[in-house]
Amino acid sequence: MFPFLRIGPLLIQMSGLALLAGLWVATTLIEREALRLKLNAAAILNMVFYGLLGGVIGARLIYAVQHASIYLASPLGLLSLSASTLDPIAGLIIGVVIAFLIGRRQHLPLRLTLDALAPGLAVFMIAIGVANILSGNAYGSPSHLPWGIYLWGEYRHPTQVYETVAALIILLIWKRTSTESRSPGVGFLQVVALSAAARIFLEAFHGASSLWSGGFRVAQVVGLIILALAIYLARQWRKPELASSEREQSARS
Amino acid sequence: MKSETARSPLNSDRLTMILVAILILGTVWTFISRASNPSSPQASRPPSPKEGFTAPDFTLDTLDGGKLTLSELRGHPVVLNLWASWCLPCRKEMPAIGEVYERYENEGLIVIGLNLTSQDSRSDVSAFVQELGLTFPIALDADGSVRDRYQLLGLPTTYFIDQRGIIRSVVVGGPMSEATIQSKVEDLLQEK
């Protein structure tokens, strides 16, 4: 665990730095994959940029809406650099919606664009794992296994390491299968499905899962739904008539 | 001639079959790996300076000559601010902390300014507190034991602790805006 780096008066959050580095590698791979798929790489990177920007602004605004009277009285609080006053789930949804709308406006073919985003997603999952290793977040449940790590007062499953390794394997699988001939969008769905599968299995070792009644872990149930949806969509998107219409749209754009 | 799909050991069809198998196994795994103690998972965790854990306890002398024990404040939301008089962001955010304390004191909020006295001068602490007219208790960590227990990484660090003594939010670095402090305090008060 190495959460902060102090340089003079500056206190740098190492997990944030890991996410930024992950973002940089992710956008590089997205650009490369977009060019390989003969897509407009600049338009896709614009879409990613505005999606991220909109996500961060949206996360702050939704947090502020939840504390409306406070932020109406002190609107400058909206400019705070503190990540603790963001609503991450809302930010994720808003970012995805904004990226989707910008993609549509720029006439990007949906499924091929998703394929271009696939390696970026896989790399960003690795960056999240590394960020969690550095911060000690997403810690595991108590464990007496020989590879347990001492964290937050107990020996625990190194869930952050499990997740990083899983994300790395997913990236390697994507790399291995990316050049094979397949319908547009299926490569992206594979990354999503494998990430959901990793979540379903690894969440059981987490020390701070959000729970539903009966002790069901929210992340596992959501992972199952995403996995089922990804498999279903992959079957649909393999239909030849859909694949050819996507390629025609790509050629037009 | 073999097709591309047939040549690859990890082709899409095979991967789909694997994913369907994972979906079935995952459903079973989700069921058997349910949490055994869903009602109060925090209760079994050892005290640690982390969100979701009980705040590590301490007893310290205060600037006005009294004693303060964190665990005796259960039943009240607590803002624990670790600071030093030489730390610029600590000085900058302290007026906002003071204002929030005065606004919510009647609703049961307790603010502790935990000074790292082992790295500070008591006279500087007194002068700063008097200069700002701070009315909340200032606890003095004279031997640095609380700093070590809280694994302090940077100043200022602020812990927002609920009425059960569980840390709900940690803000490392500063200065925090008044809106940030107030929103965290309102979250704590809403849990009451």
pLDDT, one tens digit per residue, over B60-95 is 999 999 999 999 999 999 999 999 999 999 999 999
Kindly state the DSSP code that residue A8 receives in the 8-state scheme.
Answer: T
In a domain, A26, yes or no: yes
Q: What are phi and psi of B73, to 5 degrees?
A: -95, 5
Containing domain of residue A231, as a range?
Answer: 4-39+109-252
- Pick from B19, B154, B172: CB nearest A197: B19
Read off the pLDDT of each residue in A181-193 and give the average, rounded to a whole number. 91
- Residues from chain A that touch B33, judged by Cβ atoms under 8 A, are 203-204, 217, 220
Residues of chain A with C-beta less than 8 angstroms from the C-beta of B152: none
Among B177, B178, B188, pick the best mutation site for testing chain A contact (most A Cβ within 10 A): B177
pLDDT band (50, 70, 90) for residue A253: low
pLDDT tens readout for residues B20-66? 999 999 999 999 999 876 655 565 688 999 999 999 999 999 999 99
- Inter-chain CB proximity B186 and A216 less than 8 Å: no
Residue whose C-alpha is closest to residue B116's, from B81, B140, B90, B91: B140
Contact state of A176 with B10 under an 8 Å Cβ cutoff: yes
Give A-chain residues touching B176 at CB under 8 angstroms. Answer: 80, 82
What is the average pLDDT across A133-143? 93
Structure tokens at B58: 């301490």
* Percent of chain A clearing pLDDT 90 (strictly above): 77
Q: Which residues pair with B79 in a beta bridge?
A: B111, B160
Percentage of chain A surpassing pLDDT 70? 94
A207 contact residues in B (CB cutoff 8 A): 45
Judge whether B163 and B187 are in contact, CB under 8 Å. Answer: no
For residue A241, the model assigns a pLDDT of 61
**pTM summary value:** 0.87
Tokens of A27: 């956008």
In this complex, the residue of B12, B48, B154 whose CB is nearest that of residue A4 is B154
What is the domain partition of chain B in residue ranges? Answer: 1-34, 41-190
**CA–CA gap between residue B22 and residue B8 (Å, rounded):** 20
Residue A3: what pLDDT? 76
Q: Could you tell me if residue A71 is inside a domain?
A: no
pLDDT at A242: 60
Q: Domains in chain A: how many in total?
A: 1
A139 in any annotated domain: yes
- The overall average pLDDT reported for chain A is 92
Q: Which residues of chain A lie closer than 8 angstroms to B4, CB-CB?
A: 180-181
The two structure tokens encoding residue A231: 């498999």
Does B4 score more than 60 pLDDT?
A: no
Q: In Å, how far is A100's CA from the nearest CA of chain B?
A: 26
Structural domain includes residue A177? yes
- Name the residue among A139, A221, A227 with its Cβ closest to that of B19: A227
State how far Cα B11 lies from the chain centre. Answer: 47
Residue A222 lies in a domain: yes
* CATH dotted code for B41-190: 3.40.30.10
Q: Which residues of A touch B178 (CB under 8 A)?
A: 74, 77
| Distance, CA of B128 to CA of A54 (rounded, Å) | 41
Confidence of residue A232 (pLDDT cuts 50, 70, 90): very high
A30 part of a folded domain: yes
Q: Does B172 contact A200 at a Cβ distance shorter than 8 Å?
A: no
Residue B83 host element (H or E): strand B78-83
- Asked if residue A21 belongs to a domain, the reply is yes
Instruction: Answer left, alpha or beta for residue A214, where phi above 0 means left and psi between -120 and 50 means alpha.
Output: left
Q: Does residue A12 register a pLDDT over 60?
A: yes
Q: How far is CA A246 from the centre of its chain?
A: 25
